[in-house]
Amino acid sequence: MHIESDAVPLAARMSEGEIRVNVRKAKDAGVGGVFFIPSRYSVEEMHLDERFLGACRAEGMPIVLVERNLRGYSRELTHDLVAVDDVDGAARLTRHLLNLGRRRASRNCRRVPD
């Protein structure tokens, strides 16, 4: 596997058709799918994300979102998504620290004597 971070050139003002040409070129060059982290920067970037994903869909390019769905309140998830379960991770960390005898969280997190 090889990860190419800039296989599909994107610019804010590009149309979906222009993006689709770039997706097709990437696909023809051997790119087999896209891992994509949606923007949280601005509404304009959100629309670019939407055009990019639309172009990928039109060209049959598989997409996996990383860490979050597209911007927008209660937005339907329309792509596969890989993300960290922050709540479960925090619960496991807390359980681990309690099992080590820690009784409070601080920067130094020292063991509290029994």
Beta-carbon contacts of 17 under 8 Å, excluding residues fewer than 6 positions away, are: 55
- Give the pLDDT confidence score for residue 112 in this predicted structure: 55
Specify whether the CB–CB gap between 89 and 73 falls below 8 A: no
Helices then strands, counting H and E runs in the chain, come out as 3, 3
How crowded is residue 65: how many other Cβ atoms within 10 Å of its Cβ?
21
The domain segmentation of the chain, as residue ranges, is: 16-83
3-state secondary structure of 66: strand
- When pLDDT is averaged across residues 90-105 and rounded to a whole number, the result is 85
What is the overall mean pLDDT for the chain? 84
- Give the pLDDT confidence score for residue 12 in this predicted structure: 85
Q: In what order do the strands lie in the sheet with 34-36?
A: 34-36, 63-66, 80-82
- Give the pLDDT confidence score for residue 63 in this predicted structure: 92
- Give the pLDDT confidence score for residue 59 in this predicted structure: 93
Asked whether residue 73 carries a pLDDT value surpassing 80, the answer given is no
